[in-house]
Structure 1
Amino acid sequence: MTNKTFQLETLTCPSCASKIEAVVKRIKGINEVEVLFSSSKVKVSFDEGAANEGEIKKTIEALGFDVLGVK
């Protein structure tokens, strides 16, 4: 299992955080997703054999949120 934290531009509403969490959870290979509204971070645990960092970033950005960095 791989763990990554995606730093987003400032989230403006809690429903945005819920939306990101729901959509990222649908990606095959995602084990756990936690969106931290107050710090605008998305913590993701995933199986690298089924999902990858680029796919997760692309999914978040497709929702209209800029990913500033990944740790």
Structure 2
Amino acid sequence: MDYYTLVILGALIGFLALAALLLVPVYRFLQREDEAARRFTAEYLRRQQAARPNGADHDEETPEPPTRP
């Protein structure tokens, strides 16, 4: 093997290592997002809508009427 072949192989291996280093976190992020998207099925959204028909995230508190002293 001559010197140029070693340089080419080193550059190729370095490039592949750098690509893996950068793309693996992106792939893992996309997998988590895909899993989160699967949770929002029609049945899940129907149950959420039935639990909160007015669309509020929390129960609305009714203010107490003012009392006279």
Please indicate the TM-score interval, normalised by the length of the shorter structure. under 0.3
In proportion to residue count, which structure has more strand? 1
Q: Which has the higher contact order (CA 8 A, sep 6+)?
A: 1
TM-score by length of 2: 0.26
TM-score by length of 1: 0.25
Q: If you compute each CA radius of gyration, which structure gives the higher value, 1 or 2?
A: 2
